Amino acid sequence: MSAKPELNKVAKDLVISMDYELSVAGEVIDYSEADDPIVFIQGYENIIPGLEKAIEGMKIGESKEVLVKAAEAYGEYDPEGFVEVPKSEFPEDIPMEVGLEISVTNDEGEEMAAYIEEVSLDSITLNFNHPLAGKDLFFKVKIVAIREATAEELEHGHVHFDECDCGCDGDCDDEGCDCGK
Ligand code: ZN
């Protein structure tokens, strides 16, 4: 007999609602609004690996303070993670704005996030480091709710919200859709 997962503590395949506050170097940079926790499936890297590991086994109502080292958050800062692209090769439909996050497909066909670092006369420098790369992240978290994931959610690897009826198959690009992918 396969044991059903207990629904009172954080474990793989369960949908977790969690309040959080994120600080870097003593300064709060992000937090969930009151009554609006983040919702994700545990064990699918919907959240950074170090945080996922730290909350495993927490119970509903439990709070915790967690320091996640850069390597288990957004990775170490890569000083070589910059690429210069001639403006003539830059897609016309993307605004050339410093700080803008864009999606770049590499030679292996993988999509990677990059940030426009600099715009010069005839070239654009892309930064492949996440803005939080190299930073240790300090979280205060509280587990608010836990429920079972649906078979479809487990198949997609992300949470489906009631308001989402985009019919995505785990690769959702629909504008305004917050199915999370
Ligand atoms: Zn989906």
Q: Give the type of residue at 24.
A: V
- Ligand 1 centroid–CA 23 distance in Å is 30
- Contact (Cβ atoms closer than 8 angstroms) between residue 15 and residue 149: yes
What is the reported pLDDT for 117?
96
Strand residue runs (E) in the chain: 14-24, 27-31, 38-41, 63-68, 82-86, 101-105, 111-119, 123-127, 137-148
- Ligand 1 centroid–CA 178 distance in Å is 10
- Ligand 1 centroid–CA 12 distance in Å is 18
- Ligand 1 centroid–CA 164 distance in Å is 9
Q: Is 55 helix (H, G, I), strand (E, B) or coil?
A: helix
pLDDT digit string, tens, across residues 109-138: 989 899 999 999 999 999 999 999 999 999
- Contact (Cβ atoms closer than 8 angstroms) between residue 5 and residue 56: no
- Round to whole Å and give the CA distance between 21 and 63: 11
- Ligand 1 centroid–CA 147 distance in Å is 17
- Ligand 1 centroid–CA 174 distance in Å is 11
Of 25, 24, 47, give the one whose Cα is nearest residue 37.
Answer: 47
- Ligand 1 centroid–CA 173 distance in Å is 11
- Ligand 1 centroid–CA 155 distance in Å is 8
- Round to whole Å and give the CA distance between 158 and 154: 7
- Ligand 1 centroid–CA 180 distance in Å is 8
- Round to whole Å and give the CA distance between 163 and 177: 8
Per-residue pLDDT of the chain (181 residues; tens, 9 = 90+): 556 667 899 999 999 999 999 999 999 999 999 999 999 999 999 999 999 999 999 999 999 999 999 999 999 999 999 999 999 999 899 999 999 999 998 889 989 899 999 999 999 999 999 999 999 999 999 999 999 999 999 999 999 886 555 555 555 555 555 555 5
- Ligand 1 centroid–CA 4 distance in Å is 23
- Ligand 1 centroid–CA 163 distance in Å is 12
- Contact (Cβ atoms closer than 8 angstroms) between residue 94 and residue 115: no
